[in-house]
Chains A and B, each alone.
Chain A
C-alpha cells in the first residue's frame, strides 16, 4: 500500500541537541511538506519542497533545516536554535496536476524537549 511513513513516533531530546525527523513516501509525489502542530492550534508550515534538490521556507522556518536528496525522502532537522521545539510534527505530500491540491499526511512524530 502506498503512503507516508514518519519515524520515530515519539522522540525525546535534551536542550541544545539537534534531532532529525524522518519522512518517507512511496506515492510518487513530487511535492513534500513539513508542518508543526501545537496543542489546540492549527497546522503551521515549516518547509516545503516541489522537486528533488529544491526546498522553500514556509511560515515558521527559523530553527529548522531540511534536505531533499531523493524524491521519496524529506527529513527535517530541528536545531538547537529552535527555541520551543516541543510539538507534534506532520509530514505531507501532494501530486502535481491534481486540480484539488489535496495533501496526504503521515502519522506524525511527537517531539519533546527535556
Chain B
C-alpha cells in the first residue's frame, strides 16, 4: 500500500547550518507530495507542495524536489534560523473520495535550532 517514511528526529542544528530532512514514499501512480510544518502548540500548516515528477516546491527558503526515480521528496534549507524550530511532516494524498481526500502523514521530524 501507499506509505511515507521520513527521517527520524530529533535533529539539532546551529543557526545558519544547512538542513536536509529525508522523505521517501511508496505509491501507485504519481501523487502530489506535501511538506507540512507544525510550530510548538499549533496545528499544521502547508509549507510546500509538488504535483508531478521533477517539480520543485519552495517556500520561506525551504525547497523540496519530487524525484520519481528515487521516490523521494527531501526537504532542504540552505541556512536555518531559530524560528525554523518545529516538527516537519512529509505527506502523501492518495485516495480521493467524492469530495474528501485522505492524506498519509509521515511520523514527523522535530527540528531544533541553536542560536
Contact = CB atoms under 8 A, between A and B. Distances in A.
A107 interface: yes
A101 B32 contact: yes
B99 A42 contact: no
Contact of B101 (A4, A31, A40, A51): A31
Contacts of B99: 30-31, 50-51, 96
A102 B49 contact: yes
A103 B101 contact: yes
A18 to B, nearest CB: 24
B49, B89, B99, B100: most-surrounded residue (chain A CB, <10 A): B100
Contacts of B36: 105
Interface residues on B, range: 20 to 34
B101 A101 contact: yes
A33 to B, nearest CB: 7
Contact of A50 (B42, B43, B97): B97
B45 interface: yes
Interface stretch (B14-22, B66-74, B76-84, B103-111): B103-111
Interface residues of A, number: 28
Interface in A87-114: 90, 92, 94, 96, 99-108
B60 interface: no
Given A40-B107, A41-B108, A50 B100 contact: yes
B51 A41 contact: no
A100 B97 contact: no
Interface of B: 32, 34, 36, 41-46, 49, 51, 89, 93, 96-103, 105-108, 110
5 contacts: A31-B100, A40-B107, A50-B100, A100-B32, A107-B42
Interface of A: 4, 6, 30-31, 33, 40-43, 45, 48-51, 90, 92, 94, 96, 99-108
The 8 A-B pairs at the shortest CB distance, nearest first, are namely A101-B101, A96-B99, A105-B43, A31-B100, A42-B105, A101-B93, A105-B44, A50-B100
